[in-house]
Structure 1
């Protein structure tokens, strides 16, 4: 899969992960893209370690499930890191 495939996969996986997670996550579409690509890579790595499968083809169901699962993990971590950002105490 080429770089354009990774970008499209990451953007869609990140958007689906944002729809699945409850609450409001910060970041625009660029942050969604970055988190989605990182999540797709993480999902591929987890899939290769645990299930002996990875992200091979763009239209494979396992590719999408691993990418969305990885994006969910990355989005959860991102939400924990940025939870108190932007809040000011008076």
Structure 2
């Protein structure tokens, strides 16, 4: 991708009721020259609150996260390139415990 290009990734996820944080991270390997805007590659945390799903007021339980930080950016498959890293599944970081 070139600087200024747009590519949309999406996934479906069911959150448990409660507070959650979402993160987005791009270009972790600095393969896109964004000078002078290299500092805009991380968004987060974005705090969201979930109050339950239709027909399931308690929400749906989710497994605990397996990582303590965002995963590295996947390498998209490009023409002329034999291998690509698949897009990883997102994880959820539970809110920090209140003292």
Which range, TM-score by smaller chain?
A: 0.3 to 0.5
Q: TM-score w.r.t. structure 2 length? A: 0.32
Bigger Rg, structure 1 or 2: 2
- The structure in which a higher percent of residues are strand is 2
Q: TM-score w.r.t. structure 1 length? A: 0.34
- The structure in which a higher percent of residues are helix is 1
